[in-house]
Amino acid sequence: MSVLEFCRTVQYSAPLVAMRASPWLFPVIATIHLMGLALIGGAVLVVDLRLLGLGLRNQPVAALAHDAERWLFRGLAVMVSTGLLLFMCFATKYYFLTFFWVKMAALILVVIFTLSVRRRIAMANDADVSPVRCKLVALVSLFLWTTVAVGGRYIGFP
Amino acid sequence: MFLGVLMIHVLTVSVFVGTAVMIDLRLLGRTMTHVPASQVIARLLPWSEAGFVVMVVTGTLLFYASPLARYENMFFRMKMAALVLALLNAWLFRRTAYRRVAEWDLDPVPPRRVRMTGAVSLALLATIITTGRMMAYSAYWFG
């Protein structure tokens, strides 16, 4: 089964047909998706601003990163679960949108980057990491998250 | 052009609401409990305020794209009401509990009154996001 066929099967399965038939279900799920955006935004910014030498710069990065990570994961859980539903609703439409695939690629990249490089840098002792590397990590993280968000907004436009 | 402004408006949610949520969670004692509350507020509020300015500027532009339709939109009115209440909540906090911040600054979980401020703020921010998103569906809900 090709990816497109899979999209079609999902989109026209009974639960998704029922979801599209409801005039308010999609908007409500999209709203929860937006709240997830806010949560991820806050959790990412607290750490990335700190890595850039802004925000809570009197605090050690590791402690902030440890605290923020829990809310980042919660935000991601909200985003991914609602995002899956939104995708399945119009899967064949998104399949043909370049921005959708750009967003998915950026999302996978940023999750891998966050769990590997960014986590190692953020959890390290502040003295062990050069400020330039911290800033670079923060910029890459912010760039990738922005790509995810911009892609997300684009695929929603008519 | 309209879509460009709308994009900035929506994506700045992550900055404005995002940093505000982190402050609220600190007031609720749910994150960064080892950081003094006053420090979280002092260091993150400027970012939230900067995001808020972008929200208001882009929001005003979006409003003037079709002012009558927005004015008549019930969700728009609810959103503006929630916005006023959120500002009022922050102002009241500043005038009351925050004046005695030294008494609870280091508490991992601040006193009940402070937690109320955080909870009310979170609820109002959620209302603003919800009503903002629902503005596009006003015709369905209110004919």
User: Among A39, A60, A68, A74, which residue's Cα sits nearest to residue A124?
Assistant: A60
pLDDT tier for residue A23 given thresholds of 50, 70 and 90? confident
pLDDT at B46: 96
Q: Give me the residue from B14, B40, B137 closest to A149, CB to CB.
A: B14
Burial A42-80 (b: 16+ CB within 10 A, else e): bbbbbbbbbbbeebbeebebebbbbbbbebbeebbebbe
Mean pLDDT to the nearest integer, A121-138? 87
- The structure tokens listed for B36 are 């003094």
Q: Which two tokens stand for residue B102?
A: 């030294």
The pair of three-digit structure tokens given for residue A94, joined into one six-digit string: 């998104």
Residue B65: predicted pLDDT: 92
Say how far apart CA A134 and CA A64 lie, in whole Å. Answer: 14
Report the amino acid identity of residue A128: D
Mean pLDDT of chain B: 94
Please report residues of A whose CB lies closer than 8 A to that of B44: 46, 55-56
| CB distance A26 to A86 below 8 Å | yes
pLDDT for the residue A156: 82
| Separation between Cα atoms, residue A25 and residue A11, nearest integer Å | 15
| Residue whose C-alpha is closest to residue A43's, from A17, A18, A66 | A66
**Res. A130: pLDDT tops 90:** no
Nearest CB among B7, B13, B39 relative to A56 is that of: B39
Q: What is the pTM of this model?
A: 0.93
For the packed helices A25-51 and B112-134, what is the interaxial angle rounded to 10 degrees?
A: 120
pLDDT greater than 90 at residue B141: no
State how many domains chain B has. Answer: 1
Tell me how far the alpha carbon of residue A72 is from its chain's centroid. Answer: 9
Select the residue of A42, A63, A70 nearest B19 (Cβ to Cβ): A42
pLDDT more than 70, % of chain A: 99
Q: Residue A153: which of A71, A33, A23 has the closest Cα?
A: A33
What is the length of chain A? 158
H/E run at residue A14? helix A14-21
> How deeply is B63 buried, as exposed, middle or buried, from its count of CB atoms within 10 A (0-12, 13-18, 19+)?
middle
pLDDT higher than threshold 90 for residue B139: no
- How near does any CA of chain A get to the CA of B10, in Å? 8
- Kindly list the distances between the CA atom of residue A108 and the CA atoms of A105, B92, B98, in Å, as whole numbers in the listed order: 5, 42, 41
Is residue A97 predicted with pLDDT exceeding 90?
yes
Query: Is the pLDDT reported for residue A127 higher than 80?
Result: no
Reported ipTM: the value is: 0.91
DSSP alpha helices (H): ranges in chain B? Answer: 2-11, 13-27, 37-65, 67-72, 74-95, 101-104, 112-134, 138-142
If you count residue pairs, one on A and one on B, with CB atoms under 8 Å apart, how many are there? Answer: 104
Residue A109 confidence (pLDDT)? 97
Q: Return the exposure string of A131-140: e unless at least 16 CB atoms fall within 10 Å of the residue's CB, then b.
A: eeebeebbeb
Check whether A124 has a pLDDT greater than 90: no
Cβ-based contacts of B34 with chain A (< 8 Å) = 63
B68: domain range?
2-142
Cα gap A142→A110, rounded to integer Å: 9
Which residues of chain B lie closer than 8 angstroms to A56, CB-CB?
A: 32, 35, 39-40, 43-44
The predicted-structure confidence for A43-93, as pLDDT tens digits, reads as follows 999 999 999 999 999 899 999 999 999 999 999 999 999 999 999 999 999
Provide the pLDDT for residue B142: 79
B99 touching chain A per CB within 8 A: no
Q: Per residue in B34-91, pLDDT tens?
A: 999 999 999 999 999 999 999 999 999 999 999 999 999 999 999 999 999 999 999 9
From the number of C-beta atoms within 10 Å of its C-beta (0-12, 13-18, 19+), residue A18 rates as exposed
Whether A126 has a pLDDT exceeding 80, the answer reads no
